[in-house]
Amino acid sequence: MADPPVTISEREVESLLQYRELTPRLEQALGKFSRGEVVQPVRTTVPLQKQNGFLGLMPTYIEHDGVLCTKLVCFYKREDGSTLPSTQATVVLLDPEYGSVKAVMDGEVITGMRTAAVSAISAKLLMRPEAEVLAILGTGKQALSHYNVFTEMFSFKEVRVWSRTKERAEKFMHSVTGPVTPCVSVEEAVKGADVIVTVTRCTEPVLFGQWVKPGAHVAAVGACRPNWRELDDVLMKEAVVYTDSREGATTESGDVILSGAEVFAELGDVINGTKPAHREKTTVFKSLGMGVEDAVSAELVFDQWKAKNSQP
Ligand SMILES: NC(=O)C1=CN([C@@H]2O[C@H](COP(=O)(O)OP(=O)(O)OC[C@H]3O[C@@H](n4cnc5c(N)ncnc54)[C@H](O)[C@@H]3O)[C@@H](O)[C@H]2O)C=CC1
Ligand SMILES: O=C(O)C1=NCCCC1
């Protein structure tokens, strides 16, 4: 008989997961994914029309590492002013030999941290080495996790933040410890920026190519449905476009599908050395989020949990 599954709360996940351990594991996972070593179908989505959202199912199997996992994630396009979270996620880790559940854990922290860490990996690979200015568009959960990992991994001289209201940008500024410049327009935020992170819930373009400095790197994290956009056609067509999963991007990303832009490479191809990193050009990393990122994060959390809870 298998042991009953352990449950690991949001607070516990938060205390067990650190970027310095998570980020290298994610980098390895992206490489494995692009070498075809991961079984990971494109996310299945179940529309929740009445609630203006969807349920996403994200199963993954890494045979070599014996990791079997699935995330269940609900995403909602909340009305402005709603205090409810946009994303709710649970991660289930299984034993691939028996099919039994080893652990059920909160997926909120994992989703926030792994998404931001993968964007930071994209910046490490694709931004210019002399990058000084970071601009973040959006001030929600992902904005905060991106701020945390980007300021931990890199030394930007200035971090700018834009939200649709000045109050939200200022609230974000007060919620973090380092210096932040709140901006009243997207154009002001991204002018001359070397790295731009888009973490909004918008469904129409918010970032326009005409404002983006040539050679800048954009990590585009929102707009995860085929008819949703964050970036305009000009930017998508002028930039060299990288994705986490080519199959995912050409199935789910409105920025890719509706612009007709070509996907140049997966991040894993760059990590594996099979495709170049065009740091000298304007680059877009279109992130959709992958089950393998959740799987390696959950395995790390579970290993740490066992180490902490093992008998002396
Ligand atoms: N690529 C990936 O792996 C993942 C992507 N996401 C996506 O990241 C985005 C941000 O997620 P969270 O930070 O969790 O959401 P959130 O709800 O906490 O924050 C969203 C931000 O977007 C702003 N916003 C909403 N509508 C807007 C509009 N029409 N124009 C401009 N700004 C707008 C909000 O004011 C807020 O600042 C979402 O689109 C979500 O789907 C989320 C998780 C993983
Ligand atoms: O990868 C994820 O997790 C998500 N991606 C798009 C929005 C919902 C969560």
Count Cβ neighbours within 10 Å for each residue of 258-271 and write b for 16 or more, e otherwise: bbebebbbbbbbbb
**Residue 284 confidence (pLDDT) above 70:** yes
pLDDT tens digit sequence for 182-238: 999 999 999 999 999 999 999 999 999 999 999 999 999 999 999 999 999 999 999
User: Residues with Cβ < 8 Å from 76, sequence gap 6 or more?
Assistant: 48, 51, 52, 53, 84, 86, 87
pLDDT tens digit sequence for 238-279: 999 999 999 999 999 999 999 999 999 999 999 999 999 999
Q: What are the φ and ψ backbone dihedral angles of 123, each rounded to 5 degrees?
A: -70, -40
pLDDT tens digit sequence for 1-60: 788 999 999 999 999 999 999 999 999 999 999 999 999 999 999 999 999 999 999 999
- In ligand 1, which atom is closest to the CA atom of 165? 35
**Strand order across the 67-76 sheet:** 6-8, 101-106, 87-94, 67-76, 53-62, 44-48
Q: Which fold has domain 112-289?
A: Rossmann fold (3.40.50)
Reported as a pLDDT band with limits 50, 70 and 90, residue 81 is: confident
Q: Which token pair is 48?
A: 């929740």
Number of H helices, E strands in the chain: 11, 14
CA of 307 to the centre of ligand 1 (A): 34
CA of 133 to the centre of ligand 1 (A): 21
Residue 215, strand partner residues: none
Q: Please give the single-letter amino acid code of residue 180.
A: V
H helix or E strand, kind and range, residue 268: helix 267-272
Q: Which token pair is 63?
A: 């045979």
Q: Which residues surround ligand 1 with Cβ inside 6 Å?
A: 75, 86-87, 111, 115, 138-143, 163-164, 168, 199-202, 206, 221-222, 224, 287-289
CA of 196 to the centre of ligand 2 (A): 19
Over residues 296-300, the mean pLDDT reads 98
Pairwise CA distance, residues 6 & 120, whole Å: 31
Task: Note whether 121 and 190 are within 8 A (CB).
Answer: no
Q: Which ligand is nearest to the CA of 70?
A: 2
For residue 32, CA distances in Å to 28, 36, 63, 126, 248 come to 6, 6, 11, 19, 16
Provide the residue ranges of all domains of the chain, joining segments of one domain with +. 6-110+292-310, 112-289
**What pLDDT, on the 0 to 100 scale, is given for residue 79?**
84
Task: Find, among 115, 61, 59, the residue nearest to 87 by Cα.
Answer: 115
**What pLDDT, on the 0 to 100 scale, is given for residue 190?**
98
Q: For residue 211, give the DSSP letter.
A: G
Q: For residue 210, give the DSSP letter.
A: G
Q: Which ligand is nearest to the CA of 58?
A: 2
What is the predicted ipTM? 0.99
Q: For residue 266, give the DSSP letter.
A: E
Pairwise CA distance, residues 100 & 2, whole Å: 7
**What pLDDT, on the 0 to 100 scale, is given for residue 82?**
86
Task: Note whether 207 and 183 are within 8 A (CB).
Answer: no
Ligand 1 pocket test, pick from 40, 52, 90, 142 with the greatest ligand atom count within 8 Å of Cβ, gives 142
List the CATH code of the domain at 6-110+292-310: 3.30.1780.10
Pairwise CA distance, residues 109 & 141, whole Å: 10
**Residue 167 confidence (pLDDT) above 80:** yes
pLDDT tens digit sequence for 86-134: 999 999 999 999 999 999 999 999 999 999 999 999 999 999 999 999 9
**What pLDDT, on the 0 to 100 scale, is given for residue 311?**
67
